[in-house]
Every structure is written in structure tokens, then in C-alpha cells.
Structure 1
Amino acid sequence: MQKQWIDISQPLNSRIAHWPGDVPFSYSLSVTKEQTGSVNIGTITTSLHTGTHIDAPFHFDSKAPSVLDLDLSIFIGKARVIDVSHLQEINAEQMAAFPLEGAERLLLKTASASSPEIFPDKVTPLSTDLASLFKKHNICLIGVDVPSVDVPDSKEVAVHHAFYQHGVHILENIVLDHAPPGDYQLIALPLPLEGADGSPVRAVLRPLEAGTGKEETQ
């Protein structure tokens, strides 16, 4: 029997934190079963960057691909969880000390992770030199447990740009509390939003057997 999937998504509800100035998440019933005689129908409003989500390059480059242009294989496949919570900043020299060979996708557990209901006033900074290191190891996706790979007050979003220029895509606001360091199968598919700058995802992991690339059984 295969091990169960681990949900690494933030639950979307009225309490979830959102970027200051962005549209907060809201769900409500447009009509009820009592009104229609048959079904409840709900409506949501939200920024595409609330909760667990991917950034399309169009988010920070108006000439770059939007969500529907992205290859779905980026968001499905082997991923490695690495605990960097002891680091005050994360740069290429520090990351080179971790096992990156064959990672394909990298999910970072940082010291700055907080409650989904609290928007952090600071995050562990990532350096732009990580982009070339990740490209060297053929890493196509970087995931972080905070709202952004750049510090929240950044206007240049240099880390976003560096990752895009090196073929590294971005997954943000993941929850790694129940995912120990190791290799996993990741599914984090965006919605098929034409022309969109990002998308909420339901991100899940399933452990892989050490050194085999096969899903663990129990």
C-alpha cells in the first residue's frame, strides 16, 4: 500500500493572510439550496498570490509567459525538501553544502515560516546567485514556505528575475511542517488561467524510497 499524500497547502479561508493592498480571500454562497431548490452555489474572490500559489513569469515581466503558457511537467515530479531553518540568509555557497544532485525540484523549509493567518514582516533572504547553482543542478522549481522568494518590501524582485532567467520556476507559501527532509513526489498544478500572473495550487507530496526514486509503500 502506498503512503498517503501530505498536503503542503495553506487552507483558503477568511482568516488567511494576504499581501498588503491585495484582494483578500473570500468565499460566500451566491445562492443556497433553499433558494434554488437543488444546489448550493458559491463564489470566491481573491488575489492570485494569496495562499499556496505559483508565480508565472508574467507576474514580474509583462513580456514573459503567463500561467497557461507554462509546461505542466514543471509542477509534477520529484522534489527534495531541505531544512535551511538554521540559516539567516540563503546563498549559493551555503546551498552548495546540501545534496542537490538529482533534486529536480527544491522545497525549502526556512526559519521565517509563520502561521498562514499572519503575513510575515520579514523572511529569510534568498540570494540571486542561487539561480545559477540551481540551473547547474537542473532544478526547474523552487518552493518556499513564505509569501515570496524576494523580501516583502522589494521593488526590483531581483530573485524572481534571476530564477526566471535561469529556468527556475516559483512556488510560494507551502507548508512543510509535516514533510521531513528527503525526496518526494510533488503535484502542485496551477489552474488553467489564461493570461494570468499566478495561480492558487493544491500542493501535495508523497515520500520516495531513498535512492530509488520510487514511491514508498507501507
Structure 2
Amino acid sequence: MITYDLSCTLKEGLWYYGEPYVPYEMERVGTVEANGYITHKQVMTSHTGTHLECAKHWWDDYDGVEKLSLDKIAGKARVLRFACEEQPFYGIDVDMLKEAGADKLEKDDICIIATGWDKRIAKENYTWESPFITVEAAKYLTDKGIKAFAIDAPMFGDPRDGMDYVPADLELPDYVFSRKGIPCILGLVDVDKIPDEVFFIAAPLKMEGADGSPVRAFAIEL
């Protein structure tokens, strides 16, 4: 069995979205000398590193991530590849999805978007110039019946729409997926190393009422 790790490493200095989000921090609070063991305090948000976003991120009256069925984030996945080449604000529309093979997506597949943007993970403007999909592209994928969406970028809506504040009158790809109960996984890495069809898993922490969670995402060759 060949397994591919698709998660970034959580460490200090890792990218984050800016306020009101907070950067990742780890502090040793238990030591062998004082306690006979080692333990750490972690400071992060529910959208740190490779993470899952659910509808609770947008609307208070939706279930938290602990209610998410694990069937939603484990299953057969198809990778759609795009020649982003680190181009800022690389927008993916319906025609581009079709050219990348989205017509082969089947009901209850997981759709993985591969842009290569993870190569910029330590560079300036990794978040602010992220690739994205259009609202129409998100609607196309929901019509295909996908059960989860994943991308190797920190955003899948146009980052120019805002991060610290999102205007209420906007329509976002995030809303399209969330209304349909489709969880989204962001910040994948090394998707260029996996086959076009894999078994994909992105397991969130079971945190009550959380609007998302860091995940350990990985793929297994079919």
C-alpha cells in the first residue's frame, strides 16, 4: 500500500490569514525535570495549516465540525490539475474544470484541485494571491454530486473579496458548498505527487461547536 502525506507541518512561522486569526504557537509547559514528562500548549485557530472548513464557519445555526459524518471526508477522489505556475489570483472557471477532466467526476467523489500553489507556502503573499474557483465552478461541482472539495491553496474563493472582513452581500464558492453540506479542505501540499485517482482522507479533530479544524490529510493508491 502506497500512502501520500498531503498535510503541511504545523510550526511557528507558518502562514495564517491575518487578524482576527492568530499565528501558530507551541509552548512547552511540562518538562522532564519538573514533571517527569513533556507536554506542550498549542495556540492556533480552527483554520490553521491544512484544515477543514464547514458551514459553521459562515453561519451560527449550522452544526459544528464534531457532527460531520466521517463518510464525507473519506472516499474515492479525483485530482483535477491546473497549470497555475504560481500565477497570482489564478481563477478556475467551469470551462477550465471540464478541460481538466471534471466530466469524469462521479456522484460522491471527492474533488481535489491541484495548482502547485503549495510551492509558495513559505513565500510572501501565499494567502493574499491564492488561486481560487469561481462561484459558477462551485455550482458545477455541486451539480456533479461531489461529497467533499479539497485544494492545495489557502483559499478557494477570490482572496480579493476579503479575509479580515467578508461583505454580507457577496456570494462565495464557500457558501455554495456549505449550503449543500460539502466540507472543504484547504492548504494541501504535494498533490503533484499523487495519481489522478486515489482514496483520500482528511480527518478533523472532534471539537464541539468548532467551525473547522486542522486535519491530517493523506491519499492512498487505489
Task: Mark yes or no: TM-score above 0.5.
Answer: yes
Could you say which residue in structure 2 is the equivalent of 1:49?
A: 47
Shift of 1:177: 4.6
Per the TM alignment, residue 137 of structure 1 is displaced from its structure 2 partner at its CA by 2.1
* Superposed CA RMSD: 2.0
User: Would you say 1:124 and 2:126 are equivalent positions?
Assistant: no
User: What does residue 64 of structure 1 align with?
Assistant: 62
Partner of 2:114: 109
Percent same amino acid among aligned pairs? 23
Match of 2:213 in 1: 199
After TM superposition, give the deviation of residue 111 of structure 1 in Å.
5.0
Is the 8 Å Cα contact of residues 26 and 40 (structure 2) preserved in structure 1?
yes
Match of 1:211 in 2: none
Q: Is the 8 A contact 1:131 1:166 kept in 2?
A: no
Distance 1:83 1:17, change over 3 A: same
For residue 164 of structure 1, report the CA deviation from its aligned partner.
Answer: 1.7
CA contact 1:31–1:42 (8 Å) conserved in 2: yes
Q: Residues 177 and 106 from structure 1, CA distance in 2 versus in 1: closer, same or farther, beyond 3 angstroms?
A: closer
Q: Report how far residue 123 of structure 1 moved.
A: 1.8
What TM-score do the two structures reach when normalised by structure 1? 0.86
Distance change (3 Å), C-alpha of 1:187 and 1:111: closer
Give the 3-state SS of the residue equivalent to 1:96 in structure 2: helix
Aligned residue pair count: 205
More helix as a share of residues: 2
Task: Give 2:197's aligned residue.
Answer: 183
Counterpart of 1:107, as a letter, is I
Counterpart mapping for 1:16-55 below 5 A: 16-21=14-19, 22-36=21-35, 38-55=36-53
Q: For the Cα contact (< 8 Å) 1:132–1:166, is it kept in 2?
A: no
Q: Counterpart of 1:202 in 2: which secondary structure?
A: strand
Q: Tell me, in whole angstroms, the C-alpha distance in 2 between the residues paired with 1:10 and 1:138.
A: 28
Question: In structure 2, do the counterparts of structure 1 residues 41 and 206 end up closer, same or farther at CA, with 3 Å as the change threshold?
Answer: same
**Residues 180 and 85 (structure 1 numbering): CA distance in 2 closer, same or farther, change over 3 Å?**
farther
What SS does the corresponding residue of 1:19 show, helix, strand or coil? coil
- Check if 1:169 corresponds to 2:183: yes
